[in-house]
Amino acid sequence: MPQILRNLDDRERLDWLRLARSENVGPSTFRRLLERFGSAGKALERLPDLARRGGRKLIYRPYPEDVARAELAQLGAIGARAIAWCEPAYPLALRSADGAPPVITVRGQAEHLSNPTKIAIVGARNASANGRRLAQDMARDLATAGLVVVSGMARGIDTAAHQGAFQAQGGGTIAVVAGGIDVLYPPENAALFERLGQEGVIVAEMPTGTEPLARFFPRRNRIIAGLSSAVVVVEAALKSGSLITARFANEQGREIMAVPGSPLDPRCRGSNHLIRQGALLVEDATQVLDALNGITFLNTPLPPDHPVDNQPIESEMEFSSDQARDKILSLLGPSPVEVDELLRQCHCSAPVMGMVLLELDLAGRLERHPGNRVSLLVQVA
C-alpha cells in the first residue's frame, strides 16, 4: 500500500499528540512505534508493556488523554492548531530533516510554511547596531524577493530579521519558539509576538503553557534549521545557540552562510569561525539569493498507516526479543556504537534488534546519537 500524505481525524490527532508527548518518545522512537504498530493509538496501548520489557521499574503511563484534549482546546481558543508529520500542511523541508517533531503547533498565516524557499537568519542576542541593521536589511530584501524569513524571536539579530521581513510588502516570516506557542519570550517582544501570530507564523514543539527553559532551545534551533533551505549567521559568539543552529543545518544538508565581522569583536568570532570551516561568506541578500539557486529538498518516506506485512507476528517477535535482549545489553555500554555494528555482533534479525532498542528507549535506558549510534544509560527510571 503506498504511503501518502493525509489529514488526521480528531481521534487520530489526539493519539498523535499523546504519543508525541509521552515520556521517552522522541521523534525517532515515535516513527519506530508507528512502523511497528501501524497507528499512534495502538502504540499508546503497548507503551507500558514495552517499557516494562525494557527494564523500567516504575509503571509507565502514557501522556494523559484529558491533558492532550485540553491542549487542543487551548490551541483552538487562540487560533492555533496542531499539525502532524503525515499531514500536507506540515512543512516539506522540516519533514525531510532528521529529528523532525511528529507534531508541531502553529499560529498565524500557515500558508507561509508551504513556501518552498525559507531562509533562516540567526545571530547574537547582544547584537551591535550594525549587525541589527544588516540583518534587518537582508531580511527585508529576501522577503521582497519572495522568500520566507525564519528566526527564533530572540533579542538582537532574530528580532531584527523578523522586523525586516515585515517591511517587505507581503513579506512572510516564521518565528520558532522554545516554549509553548502561547508563551511570550522575551517580554519586550510583545508587539512583535502579536504581529507574528496575525501576519506571520509562530511555530512551537512544546506543549502550551511551557516556559522556554534553556534545555528546550537546542530543539528550537533544530526546527529553525530544518524549516530552512539555508541558514545565515550574523554576529555569533564561539559558544552560542546560533552555532548550534548551524551545526544542525550542516547535519541536515542545508547551506550555511555567515556574515564576516571584526576579529576584535567577540560577537563575530563564531561567524568568522564558520567561514573558516567552509561556510559561504555573504554580505547582502543578493549573494544569499545567488547561493540558493538550484537548492531543492526531497520528501522522506511517511510512516505507514497500517502494520508492515513482512514483520514477524507479535508473539514471535516478543519471544525472539527475550532471547536477544541479554546479548544486546552485553554489547551496549556508555560509549556510542553504530546500530549496524550492533546488528552484526548480536546475531539476531533487524526487526528483533529494533524491538529491543525500542523497549530500552521507552524504559529510559538508551541514548541515541548522530550517525545512527546508540549507547546505554546506567540509571533506570
Low-confidence ranges of the chain (pLDDT < 50): 1-2, 298-300, 304-313, 315-316, 319, 380-381
Q: How far apart are CA 224 and CA 127, in angstroms?
A: 19
Of the candidates 358, 302, 305, which has an alpha carbon nearest to the alpha carbon of residue 33?
358
Q: Which domains does the chain have, with CATH numbers?
A: 10-84 (no CATH), 92-292 (3.40.50.450), 314-369 (1.10.10.10)
Q: Which pLDDT belongs to residue 351?
A: 85
Measured in whole angstroms, the distance separating CA 225 from the mean position of its chain's CA atoms is 8
Q: Which pLDDT belongs to residue 242?
A: 96
Q: How far apart are CA 323 and CA 329, in angstroms?
A: 11
Q: How far apart are CA 284 and CA 295, in angstroms?
A: 18
Q: Are 268 and 260 in contact (CB under 8 A)?
A: yes
Q: Omega into 312 within 30° of 0, i.e. cis?
A: no
- Cβ neighbours, 10 Å, residue 265: 16
**pTM of the predicted protein model:** 0.89
